[in-house]
Amino acid sequence: MKLDKRLLQQLNGLRILVSGTIGLGLLVAIMTIAQAFYLSKTINLVFLHSRTLADVSPCLIYFGIFSLFRSLFHYGQQNIAGKIAFKVKTDLREKIVRHLFKLGPIYIKSGRTGELSNTILKGIDSLDAYFSQYIPQIFLSALVPVGILLAVFPLDILSGIVFLITAPLIPLFMVLIGDTAETLTKKQWHTLSRLSAHFLDVLQGLTTLKIFNRSKDQIAVIAKISDHYRIATLKVLRVAFLSALTLEMLATISTAIIAVEIGLRLLYAKIDFQSALFVLILAPEFYLPLRQLGTKFHAGMEGVAAANRIFTILEEPAEHSSARPVLFNLRSEEIVFDTVSYGYKSKQLNAIENLSFRILPGAKVALVGPSGAGKTTIASLLLKFIRPDCGRICVGQHNLSDISAPEWRKQIAWVSQNPYLFHAGVAENIRLAAPGATEAELITAAKLANIHHFIDSLPEKYATDIGEKGARLSGGEAQRIAIARAFLKDAPFIILDEPTANLDPEIEAMIHDSIQTLTRKKTVLLIAHRLSTVHDADQIIVLVGGRIREKGDHSELIRQDGIYKKLNQAYRGVT
């Protein structure tokens, strides 16, 4: 029954609302007792003292009024709890999104985005029950029984003692059984997450599965995973229900004991009927909130399990951007790699090892080398998605680590291998680079990227919606949209990550000029497999296995008769 500390911390600052639920809980308890009192009094007067309806009508009116207020307070309490849940959930969801944005693409894409988005949506939704039901129930479970105890003790000590002895057993059992349930619930949550990630994976790869005629096999796989989920869940439930069973048993058997005990004492006139009935009416009310705590506890448990995943993400250390602004200008300052090394967690070898080179302002530097040579890692470092394990990257006088990422990125444009297109109109996708751009600027950028004609041929032109990952666009078209973005951004430093890798020669020729225009008077880092755009670079760096093997311009490297020359021949198809 652990109260998750990190979750409770979310209640800081919501003290007024929390006190509100407690106060209303207390009022519900008082109303419950008052109601029971007038009900037992009415029945006593009619049954044993032969009073008429007219005699007892004041009691009945009180009973009605207290019933009404009880419902009102109950409703109020739930509303306030709902408000608490609302505040905590919206807040946490935004915190987690903010934090993920800080953690950046390397963290996000190393996991499964399906699982992450499930945590953000369903995970946080499952906190609803924790805050809107479980927490208020805790207060009700504390206040109502205590109130009833206080009312019963002066009237009937023996029943009071039965209540007093049995009540603590309920939370005790819950703690004992709850711990096992907690570990099991965690496991179950994990299965559920995997289930949804697997589903997304299968759906996205459905075409590939079909090509291999394996899509029907997935039926069995899905059934198998669902079965695992069922078995895992049932395990949790068997324990969870066992605790419910214990609680039910305690509550019903105690009620039975009280009924027999007061019945027998009534028989020997040790207690009066009104008090006996009062106690009997309250007996189920006494146990009800404790029993409900059991059911709501399990609703809350799902939240606690989700909270673990949520806080794992939130506690993942993110780079803190430095507070002091650093002035730099990439138009005039050089970028220097000084013995930089970096390795990914998942791989043994470093992606790049002891790299040193400089990018002069206005220069065009090309990185060439087989795949896996570390070219993309260099781009990630320059984009501040990752920071060097060793060595440093300097910008003029400053260390890149001291420059805040958003400030830094303002001066960079990037055209990647697989540009991502958002579920939005074409225009909005290009405007990503400059949300305030005018229609004219937009069209100019599209024209420069040689994509305007294509967009103009779309059914709704610039307003045409692009599906997931630009489902309706070819690789070349997506690439040209990315180039249009770069045009619109007009940054002094441009990173071209194999921008022509997916284009055919016709389009390559078409955008060759675009790229020329784009990169004019700009600092350029070009990452390329294709050599047709490399030959006019000021400097070509040949990378193999994360190390620099050759450096120089095209004619120098051809003269050296090394790897570059071989690459060149290979590219032209000369064997």
Partner 1 sequence: MRQTFFRLVKLTMAYKNRMITAAILGFLTIGSSIGLLMTSAYIIAKAALHPSIADLQVGIVGVRFFGISRGIFRYLERLISHEATLRLLSKFRVWFYQGIEPLAPARLIKYKSGDLLNRIISDIGNLEHLYIRVLAPPVIAALVTVLMFFLFETFNLVFSILLLISFFIAGIGVPVFIFIVSRKTGEEVNRLRSKLQIQTIDSLQGISEILIFGQEERFRNKIHILNQRYEKKQRQRTFINGVHEALIGLIMNFTILAMLLIAIPQVTAATLDGIYLSVIALGIMAAFEAISPLPAAAQHLEQSIKSGQRLLDLVNANPLITDPKTPSSVPDDFSLKFENLSFKYDKNDDFSLRHVSFTVPQGSKIAVVGSSGAGKSTLVNLMLRFWDFPDGHIFIGNRDIRTFRQEDVRNLISVVSQNTYLFNETIQENLSLANPEKSKDELEEAMRQAQLWETVQSLPKQAETFVGEQGFLFSGGERQRLAIARSFLKDAPILILDEPTANLDAFTEQKILRIFWDLSKNKTTVLITHRLVGLENADQILVLKKGKIIQRGTHAELTEQDGWYRRMWQIQNQVLVIEAIGQ
Beta-bridge partner residues of 496: 415, 526
CB of 493 to partner 1, least distance (A): 11
- Does 471 bind partner 1 (CB under 8 A)? Our answer is yes
Q: Toward partner 1, which CB reaches closer, 355 or 383?
A: 383
**Amino acid, res. 295:** T
- Does 27 bind partner 1 (CB under 8 A)? Our answer is no
Q: Toward partner 1, which CB reaches closer, 116 or 301?
A: 116
Task: By CB under 8 A, name the one of 4, 182, 353, 477 that touches partner 1.
Answer: 477
Tokens representing residue 125 in the block: 């939704």
CB of 392 to partner 1, least distance (A): 21
Tokens 């809980």 correspond to 25
Site for partner 1 in 92-131 (CB under 8 A): 93-94, 97-98, 100-101, 104-105, 108-114, 116-118, 120-122, 125, 128
Q: Exposed, middle or buried, 520 (CB in 10 Å: 0-12/13-18/19+)?
A: exposed
Site for partner 1 in 248-267 (CB under 8 A): 248-249, 252-253, 255-260, 262-264, 266-267
CB-CB contact of 173 with 242 (8 Å): no
CB-CB contact of 544 with 373 (8 Å): yes
Q: Toward partner 1, which CB reaches closer, 339 or 532?
A: 532
CA atoms of 446 and 361, how far apart (whole Å): 27
Q: Toward partner 1, which CB reaches closer, 337 or 554?
A: 554
CB-CB contact of 335 with 525 (8 Å): no
CB of 566 to partner 1, least distance (A): 8
Residues in the interface with partner 1 (CB under 8 A) total: 180
In terms of Cα–Cα distance, which of 555, 525, 513 is closest to 364? 525
Task: By CB under 8 A, name the one of 348, 397, 440, 521 that touches partner 1.
Answer: 348
CA atoms of 188 and 163, how far apart (whole Å): 36
Quote the crossing angle between the two packed helices 15-49 and 273-315, to the nearest 10°: 160
Q: Toward partner 1, which CB reaches closer, 397 or 574?
A: 574
Site for partner 1 in 364-393 (CB under 8 A): 369-372, 376, 383, 385
Task: By CB under 8 A, name the one of 19, 86, 316, 517 that touches partner 1.
Answer: 86
- Does 485 bind partner 1 (CB under 8 A)? Our answer is yes
- Does 436 bind partner 1 (CB under 8 A)? Our answer is no
Name the segment binding partner 1 (CB under 8 A); options: 13-21, 152-160, 316-324, 464-472.
464-472
Strands 352-359 and 523-528: unpaired
CA atoms of 232 and 253, how far apart (whole Å): 31
Site for partner 1 in 529-548 (CB under 8 A): 529-532, 535
Site for partner 1 in 151-210 (CB under 8 A): 195-197, 199-210
Tokens 């020329």 correspond to 516
CB-CB contact of 148 with 29 (8 Å): yes
- Does 22 bind partner 1 (CB under 8 A)? Our answer is no
CB of 505 to partner 1, least distance (A): 4
In terms of Cα–Cα distance, which of 116, 180, 526 is closest to 313? 116
